[in-house]
């Protein structure tokens, strides 16, 4: 009989769950895994290094009883009802003081509900975002836990050991109360949507607008990853573009459908931003473009019926345009991060998370999908001013945006002339221009609302609420 007392447990031994548990084992912790599929339970033990205390089982009671008190276990199962089902199956064997962590992309109100329900039984519930994919899980992810601060101390040594490291600092920290971890991961995914859309637009412009070859496109992104736009998403774009399809011999990306899929986290980010009245236009547009991509048949028909225009480069050399595109991407990427951090700041106040923006930026610098060189600048901005309402107001980031705005405007003119859609880039520039406008035309909207609905308005020269009989 196995008498080992295991430090940490994992429920759900798919690729992510198994890889993260093996990562924990590699750092000297005894681990146990539970899965209803005996093949997955056995695969966990087979993939572990010989001699390491790693146990796979299909028996929930045996799994729970094998864990050290207070027990710490993570669920890595699909979001939604599977999480509730997994909790219900484990509850008969759990005790007061135990810690249950949901490591999936759960919608944050579900996490709040589970925190309250399990607290009534004395059980601590954590929602923890995990970013980095299966490779990150195995060798060092970014992790975003939220829940009870004191209970986190039971988890901290394990999580800090297995997280990605940047300059020796682990890419994990206690983020805040309740569903703070799931919320931060949701916004992370929204930013991810925005940056991926920006990269896709720039790829499209270079391919259709400049006529770059597949090899030249790949080289551009490889070169860019050595510049100020260095990031995981730029890096993998260069890797993707050189992968050949085994069937056709073409670059694989050229035979992949352009109907984009999504799991909903980007939509959740946009919806919640609207609830909080936080403008998030770049992410909103990224979600919209994924939705539009699904209308493939109509787009093919429209391509035949709706004529465009053909414009030359007006004498601008391709090399110069490529440099402008890199500059424009850097500008829009910073604006996308800025929008996301405003949402985090607003949500922290609304939901009592007590988030620290510099800590969020710190743990996003490594391991996660949106890791990028500019996150160190963002971290420094919040270190300098923890109450910074918007990154655009940081002197250094504001100066960088101002420096690059001429290139964004040049690219916008080119894309409009050529009829190649770059909506996320245009939206990012419009956000910048709107944010720096001391006066916006919403005074007219207020007048219109009062005209047709007697919704009233405020004046700039008098205090109070006013209504006019317009006709």
Residue 247's φ and ψ, nearest 5 degrees, are -85, -50
Give the list of residues 6+ apart from residue 383 with CB closer than 8 angstroms, or none: 358
Measured between alpha carbons, how far is 159 from 438 in angstroms, rounded to an integer? Answer: 45
The answer, yes or no, to whether residue 278 has pLDDT greater than 80, is yes
**Are 428 and 442 contacting, i.e. CB atoms less than 8 angstroms apart?**
no
For the question of residue 185 being annotated catalytic, the response is yes
Confidence grade of residue 312 (pLDDT, cut at 50, 70, 90): low
pLDDT tens digits for range 355-405: 999 999 999 999 999 999 999 999 999 999 999 999 999 999 999 999 999
Annotated binding site for substrate: 105, 131-133, 188-189, 193, 263, 290, 449, 455
Task: Report whether pLDDT(318) > 60.
Answer: yes
Q: Tell me the pairing of strands 165-166 and 169-170.
A: antiparallel
Nearest-CA neighbor of 284 among 165, 173, 191? 191
User: Strands 72-75 and 8-11, how do they pair?
Assistant: parallel
pLDDT of residue 50: 83
* pLDDT average, residue stretch 1-26: 89
Distance of CA 51 to the CA centre of its chain: 37
Query: How many angstroms separate the Cα of 295 from the Cα of each of 193, 204, 291?
Result: 19, 18, 8
**Segment 247-263, tens digit of pLDDT:** 999 999 999 999 987 77
Per-residue pLDDT tens digits for 114-167: 999 999 999 999 999 999 988 999 999 999 999 999 999 999 999 999 999 999
In the chain, what percentage of residues exceed pLDDT 90? Answer: 91
Q: How far is CA 357 from CA 258, 323, 424, in A?
A: 35, 31, 24
Decide if pLDDT at 224 tops 50: yes
Per-residue confidence band for 264, with pLDDT thresholds at 50, 70 and 90 = confident
Distance CA 6, CA 67 (A): 5
Q: What is the pLDDT of residue 242?
A: 95
Three-state DSSP at 72 gives strand
Whether residue 1 is predicted with pLDDT greater than 50 in this model: the reply is no
Q: Which of 8, 17, 19 is nearest to 159 (CA)?
A: 8
Average of per-residue pLDDT across 176-205:
97
Residue 239: pLDDT above 50?
A: yes
Beta-bridge partner residues of 385: none
440-470 belongs to CATH 1.20.5.320: yes
End-to-end CA distance of the chain: 88
pTM for this predicted structure: 0.95
Which pair of structure tokens corresponds to residue 210?
């400049």
Where are the chain's structural domains? 8-174, 185-436, 440-470
Q: Could you say which of 2.30.42.10, 1.10.275.10, 1.10.1040.10, 3.40.605.10 is the CATH number of the domain covering 185-436?
A: 1.10.1040.10
Whether 159 and 170 have beta carbons less than 8 Å apart is answered as yes
- The yes-or-no verdict on residue 86 having pLDDT over 80 is yes
List Cβ neighbours of 113 (8 Å cut-off, separation of 6 or more): none
Residue 354 has pLDDT above 80, yes or no: yes
Q: Please tell me which residue in 45, 121, 135, 192 is annotated as part of the active site.
A: 192
Mean predicted confidence (pLDDT) in 402-426:
96
Q: Nearest to residue 99, comparing CAs of 34, 146, 55?
A: 146
pLDDT number for residue 225: 97
CATH of 8-174, one of 3.30.70.890, 3.60.40.10, 3.30.70.141, 3.40.50.720: 3.40.50.720
Options 55, 185, 362, 418, the catalytic residue: 185
* Average pLDDT estimate for 310-330: 84
What is the pLDDT at residue 353?
Answer: 97
User: Residue 254 to residues 204, 214, 240, 423: CA-CA distances in angstroms?
Assistant: 12, 9, 10, 22
Question: What average pLDDT does the segment 323-334 reach?
Answer: 98
Q: In this prediction, what percent of the chain has a pLDDT beyond 70? A: 98
Same fold for the domain at 8-174 and the one at 440-470?
no
313 confidence band (pLDDT: 50, 70, 90)? low
User: For the residues 17-32, what does the mean pLDDT come to?
Assistant: 95
Residues annotated in a binding site? 105, 131-133, 188-189, 193, 263, 290, 449, 455
Q: Which residues of 273-292 are buried (b: 16+ CB within 10 A; e: fewer)?
A: beeeebebbbbbbbbbbbee
């Amino acid at each position: 009989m196995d008498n080992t007392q295991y430090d940490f447990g994992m429920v759900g031994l798919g690729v992510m769950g198994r890889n993260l548990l093996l990562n924990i084992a590699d750092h000297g912790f005894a681990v146990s895994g539970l899965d209803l599929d005996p093949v997955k339970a056995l695969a966990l033990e087979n993939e572990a290094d010989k001699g390491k205390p790693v146990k796979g089982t299909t028996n929930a009671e045996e799994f729970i009883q094998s864990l050290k008190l207070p027990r710490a276990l993570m669920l890595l199962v699909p979001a939604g009802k599977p999480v509730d089902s997994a909790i219900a199956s484990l509850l008969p064997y759990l005790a007061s003081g135990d810690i249950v962590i949901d490591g999936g992309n759960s919608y944050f109100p579900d996490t709040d509900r589970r925190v309250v329900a399990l607290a009534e039984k004395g059980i601590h519930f954590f929602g923890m975002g995990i970013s980095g994919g299966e490779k990150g899980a195995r060798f060092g992810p970014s992790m975003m836990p939220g829940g009870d601060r004191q209970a986190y101390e039971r988890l901290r040594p394990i999580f800090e050991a297995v997280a990605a490291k940047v300059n020796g600092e682990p890419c994990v920290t206690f983020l805040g109360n309740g569903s703070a971890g799931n919320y931060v991961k949701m916004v992370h995914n929204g930013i991810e949507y925005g940056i991926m859309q920006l990269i896709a637009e720039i790829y499209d412009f270079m391919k259709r607008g400049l006529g770059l070859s597949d090899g030249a496109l790949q080289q551009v992104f490889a070169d860019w990853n050595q510049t100020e736009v260095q990031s995981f998403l730029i890096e993998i774009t260069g890797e993707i573009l050189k992968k050949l399809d085994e069937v056709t011999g073409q670059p694989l990306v050229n035979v992949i459908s352009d109907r984009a899929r999504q799991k909903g986290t980007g939509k959740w980010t946009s919806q919640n931003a609207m609830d909080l009245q936080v403008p998030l236009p770049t992410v909103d547009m990224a979600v919209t473009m994924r939705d539009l991509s699904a209308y493939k048949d109509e787009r093919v028909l429209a391509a035949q019926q709706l004529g465009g225009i053909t414009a030359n480069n007006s004498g601008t050399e391709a090399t110069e345009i490529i440099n402008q595109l890199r500059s424009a991407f850097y500008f829009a990427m910073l604006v996308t991060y800025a929008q996301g951090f405003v949402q985090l700041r607003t949500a922290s106040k609304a939901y009592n998370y007590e988030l620290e923006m510099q800590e969020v930026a710190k743990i996003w610098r490594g391991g996660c999908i949106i890791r990028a060189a500019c996150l160190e600048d963002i971290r420094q901005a919040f270190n300098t001013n923890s109450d910074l309402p918007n990154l655009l107001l940081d002197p250094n980031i504001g100066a960088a945006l101002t420096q690059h705005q001429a290139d964004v405007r040049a690219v916008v003119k080119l894309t409009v002339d050529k009829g190649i859609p770059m909506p996320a880039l245009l939206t990012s520039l419009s956000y910048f221009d709107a944010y720096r406008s001391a006066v916006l035309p919403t005074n007219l909207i207020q007048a219109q609302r009062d005209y047709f609905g007697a919704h009233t308005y405020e004046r700039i020269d008098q205090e109070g609420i006013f209504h006019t009989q317009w006709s």
